[in-house]
Amino acid sequence: MPDVADFRVAADLPPRRAIEYLEAKGYLISWDWREVEQRLHAVAFTVAKATEASVLETIRGAVDRALTEGWTERQFRQELEPALRRAGWWGKQTRIAPDGSQQVVQLGSARRLRTIYRTNMRTARAAARFQSQSANLAARPYWMYVGIEDSRIRPSHLALSGRVFRADDPIWRYIYPPNGWGCRCRVRALTEAQVRMMGLQVYSSAGRLREVDQLVDERTGLYRPGIEYVFEDPPHGAQMVFRPDPGWSEAPVAGAAAADLLAQVRARNPQLFARIGGR
Question: In this predicted model, what pLDDT tens digit does every residue of 157-169 receive, in sequence order?
Answer: 999 999 999 999 9
Domain segments of the chain as ranges = 4-126, 138-254
Contact 19, 63 (CB under 8 A): no
pLDDT at 43 over 50: no
According to DSSP H, which parts of 40-171 are helical? 53-69, 73-86, 110-134, 155-160
Amino acid at 214: Q
What burial class does residue 200 get, using C-beta atoms within 10 Å of its C-beta: 0-12 exposed, 13-18 middle, 19+ buried? middle
pLDDT value of position 67: 78
Identify the helix (H) or strand (E) that includes residue 261: helix 256-268
Give the contacts of 245 (CB within 8 A, at least 6 positions apart): 179, 180, 181, 183
State the Cα–Cα distance between residues 223 and 252, nearest whole angstrom: 19
pLDDT value of position 7: 28
The CA–CA distances, whole Å, from 110 to 36, 118, 152 equal: 24, 12, 21
pLDDT in tens, 181-234: 889 999 999 999 999 999 999 999 999 999 888 776 677 777 777 889 999 877
pLDDT value of position 254: 47
Q: How many Cβ atoms are within 10 Å of 275's Cβ, its own excluded?
A: 13
Question: What helix, strand, coil percent values describe the chain, rounded to 5?
Answer: 40, 20, 40
pTM for the model:
0.68
pLDDT in tens, 127-137: 878 888 988 99
Mean pLDDT of the chain: 75
pLDDT value of position 270: 54
Nearest to residue 252, comparing CAs of 60, 21, 77, 94? Answer: 21
